[in-house]
Amino acid sequence: MDLGCGAGRTTFALSKLGYNNIVGVDIAENLIDYANKYSKENGIKVDFKVGDATQLKYKDNTFDVVIFSYNGMQCIPGEQNRKNVLKEVYRVLKPNGYYIFTAHDRHDPKSSHLDFWNDIETKWESGINEKNVECLGDLITIDQAGEEAFIHFSTIEKLEQFVKEQPFDIIEHIHSYDIAEETVETKKFAGDTVFWAIRKK
């Protein structure tokens, strides 16, 4: 399952790579409509469904692998909602199934935003919540379409804590720059992130 698949950017790529029986799930009806139209027009066998990652409509032990690409899980507002995604993904994965996702690291030493987050953290620790957000790391940004978008910047330690609330084994978390250098074009819209691979026990 490609969870939070949007218009199918990663879903179609997975299909092209030869993966079968893929389902793309997203909460945005218009994106799912677009993805279904595209797959129909291009004869691609991918099933796209509207669905909420915090309460999935699939039976326990259904999927071999779930991915949530482009930091999508962290775009869901509310700490409990993000914890519910981990809970739901755990439930729908088969035993030994993998959940692969990306999430920014607020403490990334190579990030150009490190000083920004250090400043916010110092203030937070002395009781100042400048933007009146729910969690340290919450941010409202302006997306490529010029619209307000929510994103939560976690730390590796915090995310490890959340992941371990379900019986997942953490296989790996690795900064994107330790895997490959992004192209100049990609760098224009996407910053460094961390790839996580975790496995249901």
Gyration radius (Cα) of the chain, Å: 17
Size of the site for ligand SAM (CB under 6 A): 18
100 is an interface residue for ligand SAM by CB under 6 A: no
Measured CA to CA, the distance from residue 8 to residue 39 in angstroms comes to: 9
Q: Interaction with ligand SAM in 10-69: which residues (CB under 6 A)?
A: 10, 26-28, 31, 52-54, 69
Measured CA to CA, the distance from residue 50 to residue 29 in angstroms comes to: 6
Token couple for 73? 């899980």
176 is an interface residue for ligand SAM by CB under 6 A: no
Name the residue type at position 44.
I
Near ligand SAM by CB under 6 A, which window of 40-48, 70-78, 119-127, 186-194? 70-78
Q: Name which position in 70, 124, 150, 195 contacts ligand SAM (CB under 6 A).
A: 70
Q: Name which position in 1, 5, 93, 120 contacts ligand SAM (CB under 6 A).
A: 5
Token couple for 22? 């893929």
Min. distance of Cβ 28 from ligand SAM in angstroms? Answer: 4
Find out whether 86 and 163 touch, Cβ atoms under 8 Å.
yes
Query: Angle at CA 88, nearest 5°, toward 104 and 31?
Result: 65
Q: Using CB under 6 A as the criterion, which residues of the chain lie in contact with ligand SAM when the complex forms? A: 4-6, 9-10, 26-28, 31, 52-54, 69-72, 75-76
